[in-house]
Amino acid sequence: MSTVLMKGNEAIGEAAIRAGCKAYFGYPITPQTEVLEYMSKRMPKLGRVFLQAESELGAINMVYGAACAGERVMTSTSSPGFSLMQETVSYIACSMVPAVLVNITRGGPGLGNIQPAQSDYFQMTKGGGHGDYRAITLAPATIQEVVDHVVLAFDLADKYRQLVMVMADGMIGQMMEPVTLPEMAEPQRPERPWALTGAKDRPKNVITSLFLGAAKLEQINLQLQALYREIEANEVRYAEYLLDDADIVIVAYGTAGRIVQTAVKRAREMGIKAGLFRPVTVYPFPYDRLRDIAEGARQVLVVEMSAGQMLEDVRLATRDAVPIRFFGKPGGVVPLPEDVLQEIKAVANQAAT
Amino acid sequence: MLQEKVVFQKPRALHDTTTHYCPGCIHGIVHRLVAEVIDELDVRDRTIGIAPVGCSVLAYNYIDVDFAEAAHGRATAMATGIKRVQPGHVVFTYQGDGDLAAIGTNELIHAATRGENFTTIFINNAIYGMTGGQMAPTTLPGQVTSSTPYGRDVQQAGYPVRVCEMVSTLTGAAYVVRRTATNPKEIRRLKKAITTAFKVQMAGLGYSLVEVISNCPTNWGMTPIESLKWIEASLIPYYPLGDYKVIEGVSRL
């Protein structure tokens, strides 16, 4: 275990390498281009596959190919590039091949800007591509977490034979923090009899997402749904900060979660009983735990760097049993802890009157 | 005592099944040739095919090798991923004119310019078969299709694209040829081209593309025999058969 000061994007690359990522395909897009550049330096030295594709369309389809071959493969991109990838994300989900996708999210919609934002939440957690599918989406708040999540993503991808995504905003991609990296090790992987490795001593394998008969496609869908129920039962992750006696429960994830944590600390110093509930998996969303937490609260405050996307999941979780207030900054604006503290104080004062 | 000697049989790499293709469609011939080449090169257990979106979307039901189904136009990108992680395998894409020359052209050009060591079999019949006969990028000026009911008007819909000519300008392309399958002589030449293309890949010489001027009796509104005649009369003059790029080293294979 080594502890180093690293930039988020580079830590993502190194974490993937340590997790045994055998192939990386990507395309430059701010604010994640350093992932591509880092991999371009490291992967060839290790005899692994690196290729800068002609577009995000190329990159995700190269990922799909390598995933069909059963290798650990990853791509990274940012919001507009992620939009380009949606068709093939849907194909990969249906095909049940493991792969990892890191989305370093930025301001949108449209070309937007290159500042950190959290406005790809719907796209990532509700299935940004067509059809009935979901993809496990991890939401780190620190560089250590993003390293842990990239490693976890490869393991979960293997466990469920699915695409697993990591949603980190541009702040996490660009900033530098001390991080402890895992050892370089050959990963323990399940057998992959389905992989396109050449039909030697076995019948041929076909990996397709085309099922022309409706009855058959229904069956495939039911299979996927059963998998998602299993994922929802077993892979929910969240973090809690000062929630035991909290009147005001603030729900935030990723960088917003980190900002809120500072605001909560300051609020507590002022005697306000605030606490933070931070989803770590945004799919599967921690509905049950959030519902339990919210039951004891007087007020829920949702803080997002968006116009309000996770907000809907919070409402779903709490069934509107507790008043919900929203504080959001869309367009790549990053709120300060001060801004969040003002909101918390307003909530606290409102309750007092 | 009478002894039997097998002089002709279905290739081992071709599934013993009927296909869904229209009567007279050249897909059937090309599938068979690909299967024969796989048998003769003895690479069945390390070949991976990538099927397109188009009439041959179910190619994986007919050729007995590992197969992936790609998104429309993206077979060359998928093939890149598969070949880069398994460089010792034989990888081919099988694509129509919509898949390759419309939606997938960017992926084609970049695979070729990177010199990716896989083979593309490009079936060009100047129309979109599977979706019911719309204009393709390779549809001829004046040609009537279901989306050019008055004939392709070049003022409005532009001019056809010649893929072999275009790809041959790319340094990474090693073997780029245009053939057809309208008669036994052409079929033999086509088979030789497919064999060479696979050998180019196996020797690591770069990207190989075999364009096959093909037919669509159903959407051209012709009988199979008429369609073969139309290939010779109208398509081949626009898309001349020949070798567009053959790098040094191919002749030694």
Q: Is residue B234 in a domain?
A: yes
pLDDT one digit per residue (tens) for chain B, 253 residues: 789 999 999 999 999 999 999 999 999 999 999 999 999 999 999 999 999 999 999 999 999 999 999 999 999 999 999 999 999 999 999 999 999 999 999 999 999 999 999 999 999 999 999 999 999 999 999 999 999 999 999 999 999 999 999 999 999 999 999 999 999 999 999 999 999 999 999 999 999 999 999 999 999 999 999 999 999 999 999 999 999 999 999 999 9
* Interface touch B107/A61, C-beta < 8 Å: yes
Domains and CATH numbers, chain A: 2-234 (3.40.50.970), 239-352 (3.40.50.920)
On the 0-12 / 13-18 / 19+ scale of CB atoms within 10 A, A169 is: buried
The per-residue pLDDT for range A273-291, each reduced to its tens digit, is: 999 999 999 999 999 999 9
Scan for tokens 């081209």, then name that residue: B193
* Nearest-CA distance B39 → chain A (Å): 13
Q: Is residue B5 in a domain?
A: no
The residue ranges of DSSP E strands in A244-339, in sequence order, are 248-251, 274-279, 281-283, 299-304, 324-328
Give how many domains chain B has, as a whole number: 1
Identify the three-state secondary structure at position B51.
Answer: strand
CB atoms within 10 A of CB B29: 18
Residue B159's contacts (CB-CB under 8 Å, 6 or more residues apart) are B141
* Interface touch B85/A206, C-beta < 8 Å: no
Of A51, A66, A209, the CB nearest to B82: A66
User: What is the rounded CA–CA span in Å between residue A27 and residue A31?
Assistant: 12
Identify the three-state secondary structure at position A278.
Answer: strand
Q: Is residue B111 in a domain?
A: yes
Instruction: Give this complex's ipTM.
Output: 0.95
What pLDDT is stored for residue B30 in this prediction?
98
CA angle (A49 as vertex; A81, B245 as ends), nearest 5: 90
* Structure tokens given for A114: 């290159």
From the CA atom positions of chain B, what is the Rg in Å? 18
CATH of the domain at B138: 3.40.50.970
Q: Is residue B20 in a domain?
A: no
What pLDDT is stored for residue A353 in this prediction?
61
- From chain A, pick out residues whose CB is under 8 angstroms from the CB of B83: 65
Give CA B109 to chain center in angstroms. 16
Q: What is the mean pLDDT of chain A?
A: 97
The per-residue pLDDT for range A177-227, each reduced to its tens digit, is: 999 999 998 999 999 999 999 999 999 999 999 999 999 999 999 999 999
Mutate to test the interface with A, among B50, B64, B86, B99 (most CBs of A within 10 A): B86
Q: Is residue B56 in a domain?
A: yes
User: What is the rounded CA–CA span in Å between residue A248 and residue A245?
Assistant: 9
Question: What are the two backbone dihedrals, phi and then psi, of residue B134, each rounded to the nearest 5 degrees?
Answer: -85, 170
The conformation of residue B45, written as its DSSP 8-state character, comes to G
Say whether pTM exceeds 0.90.
yes
C-alpha dihedral sign at B63, B64, B66, B68: positive
Q: Is residue B14 in a domain?
A: no
CB atoms within 10 A of CB A171: 22
Domain containing B189: what range?
27-246
Q: What are the residues of chain B with a beta carbon less than 8 Å away from any beta carbon of chain A?
A: 44-48, 50-51, 57-58, 60, 64-71, 74, 77-86, 89, 106-107, 109-110, 114
Q: Is residue B3 in a domain?
A: no
From the CA atom positions of chain A, what is the Rg in Å? 21
Q: Which parts of chain A register pLDDT below 50?
A: none
CB pairs below 8 Å between A and B: how many?
128
Are the C-beta atoms of A64 and A196 separated by less than 8 Å?
A: no
Are the C-beta atoms of B18 and B40 separated by less than 8 Å?
A: no
Strands A274-279 and A238-241: antiparallel
Find the helix or strand (DSSP H, E) in which A94 lies.
Answer: helix A86-95
User: What is the rounded CA–CA span in Å between residue A285 and residue B107?
Assistant: 37
